Each structure stands twice: as structure tokens, then as C-alpha cells.
Amino acid sequence: MLLCIFAAKFFKMISNMAEKKYIDTKSAAEYLNMSERYVQRLARKGNIPSYRPSGKILLFSIEELDKWIVSSIVKKGGNV
């Protein structure tokens, strides 16, 4: 039962993100299963693709996050 609830929430989150081209830090952290603070640190160091269109708000492209995930796996010697 608990697994079904988790799966439903995860599917809803992914579905909502699929409709958007860019997501904020909180959504990116959920998508990557990382803390917001760690995602912000990665962005500040330039280790993860991000944008600051207004100078304040930090945005992430879901497509670029997916590419970043794949490249991170390949760099660490994992299989894709």
C-alpha cells in the first residue's frame, strides 16, 4: 500500500515536470534526489547545468539534467 502511494506521488511529480521545460531548485532537487542546498552548490560551482535569467531565480532544464545524469554515470564507469 505504501509503495503504491509513493509510486503515485512520484508519477505525478514526473508528469508535472514533463510539462515544463525548466524547473526551479526545489523541483530539481526532488528530480535528482538531492538536497536543495547541494543542488545550489553544484550550480554555483558550475558542475551542473543551470540558468539565472533574472539574476536571482535559479532554473534547470530537465533535458540538460537528464544529459548531466547520463554523463555523470559514464564518467564514473557505470553502464548506461
Domain boundaries, the chain: 22-75
Which DSSP symbol is given to 51?
B
Q: Which fold has domain 22-75?
A: Arc Repressor Mutant, subunit A (1.10.10)
Greatest CA separation for the chain: 44
pLDDT tens-digit readout, 3-58: 666 566 665 665 555 567 899 999 999 999 999 999 999 999 999 999 998 888 99
Residue 76's pLDDT band, with cuts at 50, 70 and 90, is low
- Residue 31 to residue 23: CA distance in whole angstroms: 10
* pLDDT tens track for 40-53: 999 999 999 999 98
